[in-house]
Chain A
Amino acid sequence: MIPRYQRILFWSLVAGILLMAAFLLHGCEQAHKRLATPNDPTPIAAPTSSSTEDVTLYLANDADASITPATESFALPQEPSARARALIEHLLSTYSLPASAHPLQGGAAVDDVFLLTDPQPAIGARPGQLAVINLRGSFLDNHPSGIQVETLTVQSIIGTLHAAFPQVTAIRFLVDGQPHDTLAGHADLLHTYPATDTTAKPIPPSGN
């Protein structure tokens, strides 16, 4: 006959083993979920003493080819060129988030933004500044190729810059300091784009 205290000890140990097994399984599942989730490459925001401000980003969506303004709050430098560069970098880094509707690879995309007095404003256009955006070749190398996807990137940049810098009337692109024909084989980068509100919601074909 097994003494009572030994039976209690035995069942207590069994219960402990079962609890530990359940805890281990739960831990394994959590670790698996963490590893299976796409990595968020967004760098942690550097500590800053400057105050944040509301900025409008024109966000593209590949599924319906729309561009929608969205307000975000973050710190930006005050010097205009550095401000424009930081703004476009922030916009493009948004597209590298796992839930992006217009997925692009992360990493530095813009070398410089120059804000110049437009020497040749279009006939009938109001005088203003010309923004020259110098993109990095590595950004182009990793950009998806296609008319719509490239056009959405260009229009997203134009709309965001236009909202933050209303004095900019025209936008040009360079790549590694040189004129370049296309973004990734399609969208024209030799064209001087008018700086406008690029909000877009394509309408379906109409049958009249």
Chain B
Amino acid sequence: MNRVAPAQQPLPRTVIFLDPAHGGPDPGAHLPNNLLEKDLTLAFATRLRALLASSGFTMVSTRDADPTVSFTTDQRAEIANHGHSNACLVLHATSSGNGVHVITSSLTPPNELDGPHTTVPWNAAQSASIPQSLSLANEIGLSLQRAKIPVILSRSSLRPLDNLTCPAVAIEISPFTSPDGDRTPVTDATYQQNIAKAIAAALTSWRSRQIPVGAAK
């Protein structure tokens, strides 16, 4: 008797919101080699998008080029919230610190006694997703650690992070200083690619945890 192999169920659609921060008249930080943060976040988003697309994720992005007029942080949050994203990544870069900073909103989760139908203010929209955001940040942190990239998990009050309703983290790339004192700048393509791979691996692992047991069968 021939056994028919069970048909492999397609993975549920997982939407990732990517926000390369700054853009247009807002250059962000001035990085070494006359590079602007807005250009680096865009280049990094392109790398990450390619890796995530090959892993079967659907992407929603706030920009694929440097627009003349960029979206405000509120408009970026609206795009993410209307797109019903499963995870939101806000991408930044800096020339201070070491490794990658994975930042979660400093808002506190709403009080359970308030009930499920309490109106959530726009400035605290992220509060209901804080536990999932912390879990996502931890998953990305672990993946970066496995890739031997220093990582710091922290909390901050930041727009549009505070206005997002999806599990959300801000990822800030900073230079990598090895224990020997060798410094890799944020502009290094290999360094960026390693970070992008680690984030893609973390999201793949995170997606497998988020899928209900029934959906995988």
Contact = CB atoms under 8 A, between A and B. Distances in A.
Interface string B130-163: 0000000111111001000001111011110010
Interface in A129-184: 144-149, 151, 181-182, 184
A202 B106 CA distance: 13
A35 interface: no
Contacts of B158: 147, 151, 186-188
Contacts of B29: 144-146, 184-185
B97 A62 contact: yes
Contacts, number: 96
A28 to B, nearest CB: 29
Contact of B142 (A147, A200, A205): A205
Contacts of A187: 156-158
A191 interface: yes
Interface residues of A, number: 27
Question: DSSP class of A's interface residues: helix, strand, loop or mixed?
Answer: loop
Contacts of A144: 29, 94-96
Question: DSSP class of B's interface residues: helix, strand, loop or mixed?
Answer: mixed
Contacts of A191: 123, 157, 162
B94 A149 contact: yes
A182 B157 CA distance: 10
Contact of A185 (B26, B138, B170): B26
Nearest to A103: B96
Contact of B92 (A147, A188, A203): A147
Contacts of A181: 159
Nearest to B94: A146
Contact of A151 (B37, B137, B141, B154): B154
Nearest to A186: B158
A186 B138 contact: no
A205 B98 contact: no
A178 B125 CA distance: 26
Contacts of A151: 103, 154, 156-158
Nearest to A147: B172
A46 interface: no
A65 B151 CA distance: 11
Contact of A188 (B145, B153, B159, B174): B159
Interface in B89-144: 92, 94-98, 101, 103, 123, 137-142
A203 to B, nearest CB: 7
A204 B97 contact: no
Interface of A: 62-65, 144-149, 151, 181-182, 184-188, 191, 193, 200, 202-207
Given A146-B97, A184-B29, A206-B142, 19 more contacts: A63-B98, A65-B101, A65-B154, A144-B94, A145-B29, A146-B172, A147-B94, A147-B103, A147-B172, A148-B101, A148-B154, A148-B174, A151-B103, A185-B26, A186-B158, A187-B156, A204-B141, A205-B137, A205-B153
20 contacts: A62-B98, A63-B97, A65-B101, A145-B28, A145-B30, A146-B92, A146-B174, A147-B92, A147-B156, A148-B97, A149-B96, A185-B22, A186-B156, A193-B157, A204-B151, A205-B137, A205-B142, A205-B151, A205-B153, A207-B142
